[in-house]
Each structure stands twice: as C-alpha cells, then as structure tokens.
Amino acid sequence: MNAIYILWLRELKRYVRSRAQVLASLGQPLLYLLALGFGLSPVFKKAGYGDYLQFIAPGVIGMSVLFSSIFSGLGLLWDRQFGFLKETLVAPVSRVQIMIGRTLGGATVAVIQGLLVTVVSLIAGFRPAHFYTVPLALGFMIAIAIVFAALGVAIGSSLQDMQGFQLIMNFMVMPIFFLSGAMFPLVGLGKILGFITKLDPLSYGIDGMRAMLLASSAFDPRVDILVLAGVGSLFIVLGAWRFSKIEI
C-alpha cells in the first residue's frame, strides 16, 4: 500500500508543480465551450434541443478527463526514456501495486482537471438542473478517469518509444472523444453510428454526467455506471498484465 500511495502522490505533485501544463490544458476546453457552446447555440435551439452550452458542458468536462487520464498513462514513455521507470521497477514492491499507484495518480490528476473545467463552465454560464446531484456527477467523472488512466497505462506499457504516440492520438483518443456523444445527442442516430457510440465507454460516462447535471440521458444511469465499472475492471486487469511484461 505504501508503494501505491507514493506513486499516487508523485503524480499529483508533478501536476501541481507544472503550472504551465495546468493553464495549457484549459485552452482546448475553453475553445469548445466558447466557440461551439455559443456559436452553435442558435442552431441547437432551432432544432429543439435547448441551449447548446448546457448540452456541451458535460461533454467538454468528459473530454478534459479523458485526455488528462489517458496521457498520464502514456507518461510511462517519458519515465522509460529518462530512467525513472527502471528505478521504480527494481524497487522491492509488486508491479501490480506500481500499476495501481500510477493509475490512481493519473485518475486523480484527471479529476482535478475535470473540476477546473467545471468551474470554467459555470463561469461561462452552465447551470446544473439540480446542484444536489453534482456529487453524483463527480462519481461518473472519477469512473471515467479510472477507466482511461488504466487504458493509458496499458498502452504506455506496450509502446517502446514516442513514435507511436501520434498514432494513438489520431486513431484511438480522438475517435473515443468524437464518437462519445460529447458534441451531439445520442438519440436519433443511424443504426451504424448508434451501434458504434454504444461501443465507446466514454459515451456512458458523459451520458451519466448529463443524467446527473441535466436530468437528461440516452441510457439508464444504472447501465452507465455498470458499463464503466466493467470496462474499468477490464482495463485495470489489462494494464496490470501489460505492465508486468515490461522488461527493465
């Protein structure tokens, strides 16, 4: 347990010390909130879906959690390059504990990032339907962070260098985001697109947050949390297995 706590604390300290990273990570969410939230709001209202800023805010929060959590796992590549990973692996603790510590650390950083974007969304004009459901939305945010932090560790454990980073970004992370329903409603889609969105675990995380924050969802919130719990468990097992295969 000490190893898990130390690695969790290390990830948190690294994030807090990097002020430039904190500020830069808010740039893309601000762009989506302001440019899309206000720019497409008239079109969204004419379509009968209400205020687009209200709709897109949970999606942007989920996006920030997704990017932060999965890239924290890919930070393994930097640790491998600069030798810190080797020092960690030779420590007299199990690799499962190391993997869990990194996953929880990355998930914590992602949740903090999501909370910052939530504050920005509130400043921009987003208002939850009921403030007493905000803690439940935080639960979905935590679930998203754990799911994709574990996936990031699994991917980072499988790559040898940074050459595969761009491929991961273009062919995995961006499709996960854009097919999650963060930018568009999940109702009324065609059969193919509707099927693909149901395969995306982020769809259930964002849908769960919308259920809590807006009292509107495409799926049953109980289904959302069950899917996230199942996928999260699968990714943690996969991440632990891939991490155990890393050669010093």
What does the block give as tokens for 18?
Answer: 């990097």
What does the block give as tokens for 109?
Answer: 């950083």
pLDDT (average), residues 33-50: 73
**Under the phi-then-psi rule, with left for phi > 0, alpha for psi from -120 to 50, and beta for the rest, what region is 232?**
alpha
Measured CA to CA, the distance from residue 101 to residue 162 in angstroms comes to: 22
Measured CA to CA, the distance from residue 37 to residue 56 in angstroms comes to: 6
What is the value of pTM for the model shown?
0.89
At residue 7, the pLDDT reads 65
168-219 confidence digits (pLDDT tens): 777 888 899 999 988 888 887 888 988 999 999 999 999 999 999 998 888 9
User: Residue 234 — pLDDT band, cuts 50, 70, 90?
Assistant: very high
Domain boundaries, the chain: 2-244
16-32 confidence digits (pLDDT tens): 556 556 666 677 788 88
At residue 14, the pLDDT reads 65
User: Residue 48 — pLDDT band, cuts 50, 70, 90?
Assistant: low
Distances (CA, A) of 53 to 124, 180, 196, 209: 9, 17, 25, 15
pLDDT at 54 over 90: no
At residue 235, the pLDDT reads 93
Q: With the CA atoms of 34, 12, 72 and 161 taken in that order, what torsion angle do they form, in degrees rounded to the nearest 10?
A: 130
